[in-house]
Every structure is written in C-alpha cells, then in structure tokens.
Amino acid sequence: MHPNRRACAHQQGRVRHHAANSDCYEFFNLLTSPELLEQVESLLPEHRERLFTPTETLSMFLAQALSADRSCQKAVNDSAIRRVTGGLSACSTHTGAYCRARQRLPVEMVGTLVQRTGRLMSELAPPAWLWRARAVRLVDGTTVPMPDTPTNQAVYPQPRSQQPGLGFPLCRMVGILCLGSGAILNAAIGRYRGKGGDEQSLLRSMLDTLDSGDILLGDAYYASYFLLCDLHKRGVDAVFEQQGARRRSIDFRRGQRQGSRDHLIDLVKPKRKPDWMRQADYDRAPDTLKVRELHTGGKILVTTLLCPKQTPKSALQSLYRDRWQAELDLRNIKTTLGMEMLSCKTPTMAEKEIWVYLLAYNLIRLIMAQAASLADRLPRELSFKHALQLWIAWGQYEIGGDHDEKLSVLFVLISQRQVGNRPRRIEPRAVKRRPKPYPLLTKSRQIAREDVRKYGHPKKLK
C-alpha cells in the first residue's frame, strides 16, 4: 500500500476508534446544549408563525455569510427550493419579507451565540491545546468598510483623509480570540475615529471576557500602564510588545537584572489622568507596577510573567510568535469568509452583519475543533479554508445512511489538510496582477454622472 494511503487509512481508523469509544461529538453538539438553547430562547423576540421565523432567518443569514454569492435574492431562492424539495408549498421569491425578518432579528441574540459558542469551545479544550497549562487569549483589531449611505456615514464616518463622496464609512472591530481552539470569544465594534473608538477603549469594554489565570497576548497598541494594572488586578497576565516611545528609553542596566537584556522594572503611574478615565479610578490605580522587560526574537516585550525560571525568554519568544495567529484569524474572517466589505446599508444592520460573520467563523472553528480532537491534532494545524469548503459541499447534499459514520468521514477529510509550519515567513505586501485601466473616481458619483451626460465617456482611458 502507498504510504499516503496507509497514513490516511490509519488516521480514519483512529477517528472511528475515538468515535466508538468516547463522547466524540462533544464539540459538534455545542449548538444543541440545553444551556445555550435556554439563552437563545430568552433572546428571541415575540413573533408570529411567519415564513421566516427568527431561527430560520438566522440560518439563512449564516448561509449568506458562507456563500460566494451573498445576495438576499440567492438566500430567498435557496429557501424556496428547499421548501419545494421538502414537499412544502412554494413561496414567493421576493426578498422583502426576508429583509424585514433580518431587521427584526435581535443583535443581542447573534452576539450571545458568538460568545457562548466561543466560551464553550474554550472550556472543552483539552490540556494539549493550552500553553503551559494556561489559556492564552489573543487580542487584535481591524477595520471594516460599509456601504456609503448617509446613515452609515453619520454613525461611522469615513477617514478625514478621504474627500466627501469618495470614501466609505469605516468601523473598527477588536476581537478576543482563543489561541488553542481559534474561536472568537468576544468582539467590540466602534467608530474608526472619534472618542472611544480606539483599540484600547474597545478592549476595556470586553475585559470581563477574561478569567483569572488567563494570559492576554497582543501587540504594542496595548502596552499601556492602566491596562496592565487592570489586567493584574483581575489575575490576568499580559505579554505585549513594548511601545515605540518607551523602547527608545529602555536601559537594561537598570532595574533588577534577570539575565542578558532581561530585567524587572517599576512602571510609574502617569501624572496626567487620561480623558477616558474617571478621577476615582485614577486615584485607586497603584502608583507603581512591577513588570518584566526583555529583548528576544528581535523584539522588546513587556510582561507580568516575572519569573525567568517559570517562563524563560525562549518560551516567551515562542509564545509571542503565536500572536500572529490573530492576524491569520482576522484574515480568515475578512478574506476567506468575505467580510472585507459589508453590504447592509444601515448601522444597526451592519453591526448585525458583523456578528453573523463572527458566528459563521465560530461554526467552522467548531467543526475544526471536533476534527482535531478526533485526529489527535491541534486545531491550528488544520486549514480553515479547507474546512469551509468541505462544510459548504457537505450542506449541498442530503446525507443518507448512518449519520454518525458520515460525520466521522467528514472529520477525517477536514483533518487531512494541514497548514504548513513556516516560521519567519516573509512575503511582500504587493500584488502582481494589474488592475483594469479605469481611472480613479476623484469626484462624487453624482457629479461624475452629470459630466458623463454632458461630455460623454472619455475617449481614452488613462
């Protein structure tokens, strides 16, 4: 037998062995757990028995997020075909009823589903998915553009660098993710510019997501005195890259030396209270905070993990390298799932659309966690896009026979495709393919239309 076939057969046998001798679908059954269903039912709005109930609407909304064609028309068409093939009466293919049903869907319901699925996946994570027996949480932010409508512009204004009529409303999203399972635990959405829209403010609104004993891993945006104090008070350790302004004044000859370019220092509370902070909270903050600064892997890290014997530099270097997983997770949400540009034209619906994408992401992570658990692998070793493609193909066919047996085969297929381990990989942030030779739009679309009516299209495209 060919070695690849032998390995595949061995892996499939191992998955079946796990399925037969354990509660193999503990991850896969999360959505039907009683505690989750009770919370969802409590958030359901009062509704009549319509064609598009809240649960049916959410299911169709999720299908939109997972589909290449994300139009409401396709979602309604698919629903109409399912009714006919299921022996039900045909329904109208007009999208009005479905769009109104989406508007009635509570944002809290979708957000709660995201948080609960992420939390349950994290709680079920086996010890092998932890870092030194501790849960690691990743934090990172990104921006999401949305359609250029007056209501979106009023709530999420475009950057000042863009001329009126030429830009897009922009919102900022900060997410807390689980390093072990890859699930998103919580997210906060705010304005790209203006008070309260920065990444630290959005993170502070989600600190209750963290538990005592967790480790928060982030880049240099988060290495601030008051955030470190707040995390320390909650029993949460932090590993951040040191901020640029602070890096220029670091002297490893000062403080309590712990090794080569590794020392303990006392951070001093800023004399000026930040605008976002209440005076009472500022007065209660400690005057100093002991942290550890170290140079490793070409970066200067600041952490509250103070003991070099329990957490040596090599371990912290390896841990901080895993921070890049947050970038990959956000890329999966935005590029692989297609959240690079929202489609909803009101702020409330745009926020709801973001939560639906996050829920779709968690559902794919859920089946990846199940496949990794059965195949004795780490979820981070499996390909997100591969799992997404298989799940979409799985949903297109009616699966007959032994359903559990078929699911085992699905998990085997998901675990077959692993991502490459390519540390320190460097790629240029540039594209080779040339864009179409159309000029950039340098005036509002309304003015451009009037110019075309008066003077016609330009004869030569520059």
> Per-residue pLDDT tens for 388-403?
999 888 877 766 556 6
> Is residue 288 in some structural domain?
yes
The pLDDT mean for the chain works out to 86
Handedness of CA 284, 290, 291, 294 (dihedral sign): positive
Are 286 and 405 within one domain? no
pLDDT in tens, 134-173: 999 999 999 999 999 999 999 999 988 888 888 899 999 9
Are 192 and 160 a contacting pair, CB within 8 Å? no
Are 259 and 323 in a shared domain? yes
In a domain, 449, yes or no: no
Q: Which amino acid is at 309?
A: K
Strand 262-268 versus strand 288-296 pairing type: antiparallel
One domain for residues 127 and 77: no
**Tens digits of residue pLDDT in 400-427:** 556 667 778 888 899 988 887 777 777 7
Residue 373 has pLDDT above 60, yes or no: yes
Q: Which of 5-9, 366-370, 407-411 has the highest mean pLDDT?
A: 366-370
Are residues 142 and 239 both part of a single domain? Answer: yes
Q: Has residue 198 got a pLDDT over 60? A: yes
Considering the domain architecture, whether residues 133 and 96 belong to the same structural domain is answered as no
> How many domains, the chain?
2
* Residue 284 resides in a domain: yes
Assess whether 185 and 269 both reside in one domain: yes
Residue 33 has pLDDT above 70, yes or no: no
Residue after which a domain boundary falls, among 330, 356, 385:
330
pLDDT of residue 225: 94
311 belongs to a structural domain = yes
Indicate if 284 and 191 belong to the same structural domain. Answer: yes
* Full domain range(s) for residue 358: 15-107+345-416
In terms of domains, do 289 and 319 share one? yes
Q: Model pTM greater than 0.85?
A: yes
Domain boundary pick from 268, 295, 330:
330
**pLDDT-derived band at 368, boundaries 50, 70, 90:** very high
pLDDT surpassing 50 at residue 20: no
In the chain, pLDDT over 90 holds for what percent of residues? 53
pLDDT of res. 295: 94
**309 and 357 belong to one structural domain:** no
> Would you state the pLDDT for residue 44?
66
CB 107 within 8 A of CB 344: no
Closest CA to 58 of 103, 2, 13, 4: 103
Instruction: Let me know if residue 272 belongs to a domain.
Output: yes
Task: List residues bridging with 241 in a β-sheet.
Answer: 301
Q: Please indicate, yes or no, if residue 338 is contained in any of the structural domains.
A: no
Assigned domain for 34 exists:
yes
Q: Residue 356 has what pLDDT? A: 94
Tell me: do 126 and 259 sit in the same domain.
yes
Is the separation of the CB atoms in 139 and 176 below 8 Å? yes
Indicate if 306 and 231 belong to the same structural domain: yes
User: Is position 285 within any domain?
Assistant: yes
Are 127 and 102 members of one domain? no
